[in-house]
């Protein structure tokens, strides 16, 4: 799967490449940006208030979920307006295992990912029969149903019903001198980096090319011998697993899970974050996450009574100014600067 990683020098122009790579920002520049980003990410928690650390952690958690959605939508062409469901499943898996199973948080994380992968894979089977907008509608139904199912009687002994479940937040182990906000920030950062690395390699691999071939032309992909059903359902599963990991992390960071945390508003939010960040861009997920956390706050600052309208106006403005998402904008600026020098 890692035969052609992001270090590939091929100046590919095809749609298949992530937006930021299409016209090839030089690899050296990318690496430098990654390094600077990492240094800032490591230094930040020692420079800002705990509340800001918590917000940044939330941004990364959203980014992980958006990354998962991006694999599905951006690289495989399947729409989902129901990823709030997988976040909910991940969050509740962690909360329930910790509450009733006596599990530690770290043990629940891979289980949440695995469970979401299975559910996502299984949901991907009937989804095979649904094309684009119909799939969007089917997944949306999932998102609408989730909060009610979590509240319903058969699940209530486990989910805690409307009241939800309180979750214990892990402290830094081995006497590492970090408070719990800083610790969860770094846990999230490391998991996010691993998942981003995996996503980059997946997209650059044979599997990734197959995913994109299915997106671009399913008939041609089939003619080349790609097992469309298998790739589509697996992608759905992987995407759901990303969302599940995000959910699991959010459960411990927020220290609480409740049905009202996972409404369709969250599902729409992820979709907005995906488009804002840049469909088909892996670093773009971070911009999407930041948009989800900060823009509603900005909108509220502008006008309390018209916060929704202000949010809508900002959204329109952003789409107008960055038609290819944040990643597209960055790429355009960098290319312009490089071309001027050349």
Which residues of this chain interact with other proteins, rule CB under 8 A?
Answer: 49-52, 54-55, 58, 148, 151-153, 161-164, 166, 250, 254-256, 258-261, 263, 265-266, 293, 296, 300, 304-305, 307-308
User: Are 259 and 162 contacting, i.e. CB atoms less than 8 angstroms apart?
Assistant: yes
- Tokens describing residue 268: 């729409």
| Helix, strand, coil % in the chain, rounded to nearest 5 | 75, 0, 25
Close Cβ partners of 18 (under 8 Å, ≥ 6 residues apart): 74, 203, 280, 281, 282, 327
CB of 190 to other proteins, least distance (A): 22
Angle at alpha carbon of residue 286, lines to 5 and 106, rounded to 5°: 80
Helix/strand/coil for 216: helix
Closer residue to other proteins, CB minimum distance, 258 or 282: 258
- Smallest gap from residue 173 Cβ to other proteins (A): 20
Phi-psi region of 161 (alpha: psi -120 to 50; beta: other; left: phi over 0): left
Q: How far is the CB of 149 from other proteins (least distance, A)?
A: 9
User: Measured between alpha carbons, how far is 159 from 116 in angstroms, rounded to an integer?
Assistant: 17
**Shortest distance, position 307 Cβ to other proteins, whole Å:** 6
- Distance (Å, whole) CA 4 – CA 328: 23
Nearer to other proteins, 241 or 293 (CB): 293
The tokens for 105 are: 């948080």
**Extended strands (E) in the chain:** 165-166, 256-257
What CA–CA distance (Å, rounded) separates 162 from 155? 11
Which residue number, 58 or 94, has a Cβ lying nearer to other proteins?
Answer: 58
For other proteins, the closer of residues 115 and 264 by Cβ is 264
| Smallest distance from other proteins to CB 184, Å | 13
Q: How near is the Cβ of 111 to other proteins at its closest, in Å?
A: 22
Closer to other proteins by Cβ: residue 30 or 169: 169
The residue among 91 and 195 lying less far from other proteins, judged by its C-beta, is 91
Q: How far is the CB of 23 from other proteins (least distance, A)?
A: 38
Pairing status of strand 256-257 against strand 165-166? antiparallel
Which residue, 76 or 261, has its beta carbon nearer to other proteins? 261
Residues in the chain: 342
Q: Which residues pair with 165 in a beta bridge?
A: 257
End-to-end CA distance of the chain: 35
Q: How far is the CB of 137 from other proteins (least distance, A)?
A: 21
The candidate with the shortest Cα–Cα distance to 252, out of 335, 337, 188, 338, is: 188
Cα(1)–Cα(251) distance, integer angstroms = 31
The nearest distance, CB 151 to other proteins, in angstroms, is 7
């Amino acid at each position: 799967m890692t035969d052609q990683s992001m270090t590939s020098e091929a100046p590919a122009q095809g749609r298949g490449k992530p937006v930021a790579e299409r016209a090839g920002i030089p690899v050296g520049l990318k690496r430098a940006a990654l390094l600077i980003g990492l240094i800032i990410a490591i230094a930040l928690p020692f420079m800002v208030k705990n509340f800001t650390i918590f917000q940044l952690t939330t941004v990364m958690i959203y980014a992980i979920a958006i990354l998962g959605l991006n694999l599905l939508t951006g690289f495989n062409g399947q729409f989902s307006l129901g990823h709030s469901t997988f976040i909910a499943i991940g969050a509740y898996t962690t909360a329930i295992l910790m509450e009733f199973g006596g599990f530690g948080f770290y043990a629940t994380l891979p289980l949440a990912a695995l469970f979401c992968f299975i559910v996502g894979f299984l949901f991907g089977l009937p989804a095979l029969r649904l094309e684009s907008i119909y799939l969007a509608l089917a997944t949306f139904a999932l998102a609408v149903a989730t909060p009610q199912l979590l509240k319903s009687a058969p699940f209530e002994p486990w989910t805690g019903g409307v009241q939800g479940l309180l979750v214990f937040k892990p402290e830094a182990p081995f006497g590492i001198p970090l408070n719990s906000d800083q610790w969860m920030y770094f846990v999230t950062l490391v998991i996010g980096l691993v998942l981003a690395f995996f996503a980059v390699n997946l997209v650059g691999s044979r599997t990734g090319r197959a995913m994109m071939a299915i997106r671009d032309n399913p008939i041609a992909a089939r003619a080349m011998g790609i097992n469309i059903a298998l790739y589509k359902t697996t992608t759905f599963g992987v995407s759901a697993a990303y969302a599940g990991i995000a959910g699991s992390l959010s459960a411990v960071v927020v220290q609480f899970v409740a049905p009202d945390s996972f409404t369709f508003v969250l599902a729409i939010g992820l979709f907005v974050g995906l488009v804002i960040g840049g469909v088909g861009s892996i670093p773009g997920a971070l911009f999407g996450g930041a948009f989800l956390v900060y823009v509603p706050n900005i909108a509220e600052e502008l006008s309390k009574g018209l916060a929704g309208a202000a949010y809508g106006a900002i959204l329109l403005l952003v789409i107008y100014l960055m038609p290819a998402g944040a990643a597209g904008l960055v790429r355009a600026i960098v290319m312009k600067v490089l071309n001027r020098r050349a």
